[in-house]
Structure 1
Amino acid sequence: MKLLKFGGTSLANAKKFLCVADIIEKKNKKEQIAIVLSAPAKITNYLATIIEKNTNNNEILKNVSLAENIFIELIKNIKKTQSFFAYEETKEKIEIEFKKLKKIINDIILINKCPENIQPIIISRGEILSVVIMKNILKSRNYRVTILDPVKYLLAIGNYLNSTVDIKESKKRIEKINIDQKNIILMPGFIAGNIKGEPVLLGRNGSDYSAAILAACINAHSCEIWTDVDGVFTSDPRIVSNTYLLESISYQEAMELAYFGAKVLHPRTIEPISQFQIPCFIKNTNNVDSRGTFIGEKKDSEKKILKGVTHLDNIVMFNISGSCLKDQGKTISRIFTLFSKKNINIILVTQSSSENKINFCTLEKDADHVSMIFQKEFKLEIKERLLSNLNIIKNLSILSVIGSNISQKYNIASKIFSSLGSLKINVLAIAQGSSNNSISVVIKRKNILKAVQNVHNRLFFKKKIMNVFLIGIGGVGKTLLRQILKQKDFLDQKNIKIKLRMIANSKKLLFSDRSISLNNWEEKFKQSKEKFNFEILNKLLKDNSNSKSVVIDCTSDDFLSKQYINFISSGFHVITSNKKANTNSLKYYNDIRTTVLKENKKFLYETNVGAGLPVINTLQNLFNTGDRIISFKGILSGSLSFIFGKLEEGMSLSESTKEAKKLGFTEPNPFDDLS
């Protein structure tokens, strides 16, 4: 038997519901299948607002109506294309469920709170109605269906909102059911039942966990998680533009990826499929033919050590210090036993080598609770100064690199820290998983996006990626872009990839999160409606700086040249054909070079003299090898060389200057060459 689970985005509308039904129908032709369904997209969010304390009564009723309308509209559209679909029967069932829901809501409004045992009843309506709709779609196609009630058959242990399923007992219950082998099994995800037979939730986004549990209970030979992406990627494609799909990952790697923030998987999903050695596939309902990602036993042929860069947001870190932390682990044991009893998840722990200080991270939502119970439990130790008060650092994120035995690779950690160092990102704590499959660092939340991007590029790509922000698209700028396009094959051979992120002139700019095509940039630039000013430019550069970004100035603008120090301080290299920065005051000239040394950036200006010939680079190399200049003779201006040559031929200064400008040899204002 095979198990298939479909998420909310795969059931977002009638078309997607029918697409899922097609997948089920196709799979069922080969073998018996069991299906676990989530609520349609947005439904759970609407229902969750009912139990939120700060939601007013009007908002509650509005969201309930929105949820009901989504279901009614959904089945109306199914009826249009699905013959024999039991529309009236389904509509009646939806109306009954929402009538019950509205009665519960009236009671909640009356007592001004929602008891915990009622919350699962409210929030799980979406999953239950998904099963009702899918059952009637399949029945209209002449398939027989058996619905499993998870409240009855999955025994859960824990609280009402975040329980864990007892697989052994649940398996016994399901084995007692006599299910016809020709029937398709349907079960709503996200819920189970406690020992009293009350509905409980399996944690937010727990339908994946439900699927893994059911797969174990029915001895499924494989489990497929169907979502709206092709599988597990090396990072979040919404953040990192050049991620790639992982063909396979081990159970342990999948667990680490999920735990540290990979959105495709629920963290607890991996435990049952790993325990019972059930192969799992992550598939895409929008791209049925995609191979997806295989999760299972590690293959000997798998040569890729690194599997992903993930991140967790909304993290806080606590620091505790004191002499009693050296008491052979007794105090530390008390601390974490206390948190475990209070159901507080400790995400990451580090301890100083002196053993008198520990750091640990939790989610922000648990911060106040952690502080309160710690102060209460260790009141005496704090009073006697054996322990310090909790020091809390907020607004943090955890960046994690996941792979197979990555601790055995000497250069992975160094690449992580050099990538962060190049962005001037301070690491607050470091931890390595006991499985040797992860390295995690705690950093400020404001830096997490560029940190993930930079670390991912550093670890997963041999190519040197250069993000180019070009200002000035006159003769020099256009020629530069043509040259980059022409040299593409050569750059590929050198493992260099140039990503044109921004093009700007004095009137407007064109920006891309990924890369502007060099084949049609002029057309795209004409279509751009983004106006240019220095405030917009500086914000854009600040938001998109990383160690591989460069500003190229192909203008002769004096004000722009005075921004170079800001650009370099923001993390950009600067390349310029603009002479103004080097012919400004001596102080500014020296300040640029001081900033370059401080920030470890490049300031390149070869085209300032010698008509672009490598004069400056040659001289600098001579200096670097110990040579010194005794004397220097010559005209280092290509413009003046041309003009003087024409003067010798008898042409007037004005005419020779006009011709030089016409041929593109001078600055836009020839006065800059002649002054």
Structure 2
Amino acid sequence: MQVLKFGGTSLSNVTKFLDVSKIIESKFQQTETAVVLSAPAKITNYLDQINQSIITKCDIEPILQKIKKIFYELSNNIIKNQKNFPNIKINKYIDNKIEYLKNQIKYVSLHQKNIDKNFAEIISTGEIISVKIMSTLFIAKKYSVFIIHPEQQIIATNDYLDANVKIKESKNNIQKLKIPKKHIIFMPGFIAGNKKKELVTLGRNGSDYSAAILSVCLDAKICEIWTDVDGVYTADPRIVPNAKLLQKLSYQEAIELSSFGATVLHPKTILPLSQFNIKCIIKNTYFPENLGTIITNNIKKPIESIKGITYLGNITLITIKIDTIDFMESIINKLFLFFYKNKNRILSTINSYLEKKIFFYIIQKKTNRIKNCLIEKIKNELTDYIINYIHIDTKINMISIVGSNIQKNDKIKKKIFHALEKTNFKIITINTQNSENSINIITNNKNITENIQIIHDQILHPIHTIEIFIIGIGGVGTALIEQIQTQQKKLKDKNIEFKICGIANSKNMLINLQGINLTTWKKDFYQSKTKFCIKQLIQYGKNISLFNPVVVDCTASQTITNEYYNILKNNIHIVTPNKKANTDSWEKYTKIRKISMKSNKNFLYETNVSAGLPIIKTLKNLFDSGDKLINFRGILSGSLSFIFGKLEEGLSISEATIMAKKLGFTEPNPKDDLSGIDVARKILILAREAGYKLELNDINIIPILPGHLLDIKNEKIFFKELKKLDTFFLKKIKNAQDNKKVLRFIGTIQKEGCCRVQLTEIDQTDPLYNVKNGENALIIHSKYYQPMPLVLRGYGAGNNVTAAGIFSDLLQILS
């Protein structure tokens, strides 16, 4: 025997109604089947509106017509698919039910007696009509059906609107029915009867409870709850879009999740299924082939793991300050009974013996209206004790993290508390006393949904995400975007996501915190009307929904580097090939590092020197391990390496420089390369890494070009004047070759931090002799590396290698 329950959204129109009939038909072919139906979507809400309208004496006729229309549309459309369906007979049945409703409403309005009893009969009408239509459809299909009338067979307490079922008595009644074999059993959900045979209801979402009870009564092996989602998720998908489906849950985990806010199942539903060891499966009516979520007691050795995050809002916190702790337990017991009688669900209690306070967290509707009344009632309950004060706070929120035995697992708890650090929560308290399977975070934050998403993704989302804001889309910036797009699949395989959320140049910016479409980014960028503003970009970057926001500065702009302090202060990482910040004054240099450490955010600049060659990381690791620099020599300019290599092949200096610029080897302004200032900046960066407190003007630059050329600002004029030096440099190259030497532009760091950059003739015995065509080489003599130096060699310029170096720095943020 299996029991199937279908909710209102699964029955909301004729297409879905007929889909449900197909599922029932298919299931019945496999085994004996009982079906519990809710009212179609909106019907119960309309009926509830009628009950409220009786109190407020509003016109209920429009609501009745809406109800009639929904059921008429079902009936009149079913006949189009099932020709012998008696829609006229069903429509008359609907009319009679609507007429009966009118009489009940009139009676209640006139007499104002037995209001809850009549409200229960009114609000349950939808389920009864729903079963009538579905059972008639199956009779038309030539199936035998058996209808259980729950008001006669399912025995519950006298509470008309929120009754609890007496399982033993109900089971006796059902088993006395002697239901014939090969009959599909139908029963309206949400309904039971008291000992007086009066109809009572089981509370909102009570149809699930009905299905669980019927499963027990029929000794069913499986209870399937068919709804509009695939099952139970790690969080509410409406709040957390990347919540994951849980394929299997223990009943204990399901109880915890539902108790603290998971809406797929009601706690009352789970208890009888768990008690009688009946497997429950949550299924999606729209995708019946999907596996859903299985809830069972038969999970071997539950793993200590987090299963989900739930949320309950509008909780009431009642704080009671007592005179002495001697009677604390007595007061708590008395208040438990008081809240139970008043139908207040207690979520949590915390006792503070030190402060002599008791904290009750309860679900209380319309608390603001009855706050003072509630205080007086509590005082009346506690007249035997000295109470200093009672305080009530409303609109408290509770986020619960649920999983098997998570209280016993220190690693899991550490993970949770680390996730909380990422939020801007104002935490009232963290309660670990309720259960070994949950941790409750109590907060009065108003905008809580973003924080739930952050906690969920930090704890349960396996993807390590970096949100990237790229400033500068010249050669390097564009190459980086292309590399990220190309590597997406490989990154995903390693549970890494590089999400580009911002692209900017000096004029415009394109922002999408969900991730920019990298296949259309150029078109989207140039269509963007958002003007670039670094301060506005920082505001986007500090959005709390981002995990690891990072600004990638691919410009040579001093204006952007002036904002590095603010970027880091706002908890945003920086990765940059821009050398300006690291070659600014010593004061600014140290200021950036201090804020980086204080905010615990990375400032990474591997590509400041030699593009993708790992010189910065190498030096940091050496010096952190106690090594000390003795001296350094190196070719640090890929552009000058390329240019002088081409001069050896016979090109002129102007031709080689133009070629280097086209290939992306030079700085945005090639004059920075030929002046030697770019190499000087790199030497300064390395010297500072080695511990020397130097400024840029401490670097001795022996320029390649005469001074008048360096003063030219117009690029065309610069290249025109540079051409005049072609013969001069060809002669220098020939003279060096005649001496079996080559020209290399070399930077050096000697003892006491004496630094120099200059064009030098070197012979074949020098390790730098063969370094050309864009290569860099770095020779480090240190305490650990002597007499044989540490040598690093490779391409030190070019858009792709620089972008690759930035890519590597981005990966380092996750390490």
Tell me the TM-score range normalised by the shorter chain. 0.7 to 0.9
Matched-pair contact (CA < 8 Å) for 2:230–2:284? yes
* 1:108-257 → structure 2 map (5 Å cutoff): 115-157=115-157, 159-257=159-257
Q: 1:261 to 1:384 in 2, by over 3 A?
A: closer
* 1:491-510 → structure 2 map (5 Å cutoff): 491=491, 495-500=494-499, 502-505=501-504, 507=508, 509=510
Matched-pair contact (CA < 8 Å) for 1:547–1:572? no
Q: Distance in 2 between matches of 1:562 and 1:548?
A: 22
Matched-pair contact (CA < 8 Å) for 2:467–2:500? yes
Task: Indicate yes or no: 2:70 matched with 1:70.
Answer: yes
SS at match of 1:351: strand
1:322-368 alpha-carbon deviations (Å, 9 max, x no partner): 33344251122222221112111111222236372232322362644
Q: Distance in 2 between matches of 1:28 and 1:621?
A: 69
Report what 1:421 is aligned to: 421
* 1:298-337 → structure 2 map (5 Å cutoff): 298-300=298-300, 303=303, 305-327=305-327, 329-337=329-337
Q: Distance in 2 between matches of 1:181 and 1:568?
A: 73
Report what 1:405 is aligned to: 405
Matched-pair contact (CA < 8 Å) for 2:316–2:392? no
Q: Could you tell me which amino acid in structure 2 is paired with residue 177 of structure 1? A: L
SS at match of 1:27: helix
Q: Could you tell me which amino acid in structure 1 is paired with residue 211 of structure 2? A: A
Q: Distance in 1 between matches of 2:589 and 2:376?
A: 56
Q: Distance in 1 between matches of 2:486 and 2:609?
A: 24
Q: 1:180 to 1:541 in 2, by over 3 A?
A: farther
Q: Distance in 2 between matches of 1:195 and 1:164?
A: 12
Report what 2:31 is aligned to: 31
SS at match of 2:164: strand
542-551 or 171-180, which moves further after superposition?
Answer: 542-551
SS at match of 1:411: helix
413-422 or 612-621, which moves further after superposition?
Answer: 612-621
Q: 1:236 to 1:198 in 2, by over 3 A?
A: same
Matched-pair contact (CA < 8 Å) for 2:35–2:185? yes
Report what 1:480 is aligned to: 480
Matched-pair contact (CA < 8 Å) for 1:39–1:127? yes
Q: Could you tell me which amino acid in structure 2 is paired with residue 267 of structure 1? A: P
Q: Could you tell me which amino acid in structure 2 is paired with residue 497 of structure 1? A: I
Q: 1:227 to 1:381 in 2, by over 3 A?
A: closer
Matched-pair contact (CA < 8 Å) for 1:84–1:140? yes
* 1:8-87 → structure 2 map (5 Å cutoff): 8-52=8-52, 61-87=61-87
* 1:572-583 → structure 2 map (5 Å cutoff): 572-577=572-577
Matched-pair contact (CA < 8 Å) for 1:545–1:572? no
Matched-pair contact (CA < 8 Å) for 2:424–2:451? no
Report what 1:362 is aligned to: 362
Task: State the 1:666 CA deviation.
Answer: 6.0
Report what 2:259 is aligned to: 259
Q: 1:470 to 1:94 in 2, by over 3 A?
A: farther
Q: Distance in 2 between matches of 1:247 and 1:462?
A: 17
Task: State the 1:488 CA deviation.
Answer: 5.2
Task: Indicate yes or no: 2:391 matched with 1:390.
Answer: yes
Q: 1:117 to 1:188 in 2, by over 3 A?
A: same
Q: 1:36 to 1:388 in 2, by over 3 A?
A: same
Report what 1:352 is aligned to: 352
Q: Distance in 2 between matches of 1:90 and 1:192?
A: 24
SS at match of 1:168: helix
Q: 1:487 to 1:297 in 2, by over 3 A?
A: same
SS at match of 1:280: strand
Task: State the 1:409 CA deviation.
Answer: 2.0
288-297 or 121-130, which moves further after superposition?
Answer: 121-130
Q: Distance in 2 between matches of 1:27 and 1:411?
A: 44
Matched-pair contact (CA < 8 Å) for 2:454–2:545? no
Task: State the 1:136 CA deviation.
Answer: 2.1
What RMSD over aligned residues (CA atoms) do the two structures have, in Å?
Answer: 4.2
317-326 or 165-174, which moves further after superposition?
Answer: 317-326
Matched-pair contact (CA < 8 Å) for 2:541–2:549? no
Q: Could you tell me which amino acid in structure 1 is paired with residue 222 of structure 2? A: S
Task: State the 1:403 CA deviation.
Answer: 2.2
Task: State the 1:269 CA deviation.
Answer: 0.6
Matched-pair contact (CA < 8 Å) for 1:546–1:572? no
Q: Distance in 1 between matches of 2:146 and 2:639?
A: 85
Q: 1:137 to 1:590 in 2, by over 3 A?
A: farther
Q: Which runs of 5+ in 2 are unaligned?
A: 678-815
SS at match of 2:116: coil
Q: Distance in 2 between matches of 1:296 and 1:240?
A: 26
Matched-pair contact (CA < 8 Å) for 1:53–1:113? no
Matched-pair contact (CA < 8 Å) for 2:425–2:445? no
Matched-pair contact (CA < 8 Å) for 2:240–2:453? yes
Task: State the 1:579 CA deviation.
Answer: 6.0
252-261 or 478-487, which moves further after superposition?
Answer: 478-487
Matched-pair contact (CA < 8 Å) for 1:226–1:284? yes
Q: Distance in 2 between matches of 1:379 and 1:589?
A: 67
Q: Which runs of 5+ in 1 are unaligned?
A: none
Q: Could you tell me which amino acid in structure 2 is paired with residue 498 of structure 1? A: E
1:576-610 alpha-carbon deviations (Å, 9 max, x no partner): 45567668898876665554334322233444554
Matched-pair contact (CA < 8 Å) for 2:338–2:381? no
SS at match of 2:346: coil
Task: State the 1:22 CA deviation.
Answer: 0.7
Q: Distance in 2 between matches of 1:200 and 1:563?
A: 67
Task: State the 1:85 CA deviation.
Answer: 1.9
* 1:431-450 → structure 2 map (5 Å cutoff): 431-432=431-432, 435-446=435-446, 448-450=448-450
Matched-pair contact (CA < 8 Å) for 1:262–1:311? yes
Matched-pair contact (CA < 8 Å) for 2:348–2:360? yes
Q: Could you tell me which amino acid in structure 2 is paired with residue 162 of structure 1? A: D
Task: State the 1:209 CA deviation.
Answer: 0.9
Q: 1:516 to 1:379 in 2, by over 3 A?
A: same
Task: State the 1:524 CA deviation.
Answer: 8.7
1:48-76 alpha-carbon deviations (Å, 9 max, x no partner): 33344799877865444334333333333
Q: Distance in 2 between matches of 1:43 and 1:470?
A: 52
Query: Which structure: larger Rg?
Result: 2
Q: Distance in 1 between matches of 2:435 and 2:386?
A: 36
Q: Could you tell me which amino acid in structure 2 is paired with residue 575 of structure 1? A: V
Matched-pair contact (CA < 8 Å) for 2:345–2:364? no
Q: 1:385 to 1:590 in 2, by over 3 A?
A: farther
Q: Distance in 2 between matches of 1:113 and 1:614?
A: 85
338-347 or 454-463, which moves further after superposition?
Answer: 454-463
Q: How many residues align?
A: 669
SS at match of 1:163: coil
SS at match of 2:288: coil
Q: Distance in 1 between matches of 2:643 and 2:360?
A: 70
Percent of matched pairs sharing the same residue: 42
TM-score, normalised to structure 1's length?
0.84
Task: State the 1:142 CA deviation.
Answer: 1.0
SS at match of 1:390: strand
Q: Distance in 2 between matches of 1:550 and 1:113?
A: 67
* 1:553-568 → structure 2 map (5 Å cutoff): 553-554=553-554, 568=568
Q: 1:201 to 1:660 in 2, by over 3 A?
A: farther
Q: Distance in 2 between matches of 1:529 and 1:43?
A: 46
Q: Distance in 2 between matches of 1:188 and 1:512?
A: 47
Q: Could you tell me which amino acid in structure 1 is paired with residue 497 of structure 2? A: I
SS at match of 1:128: helix
SS at match of 1:346: strand
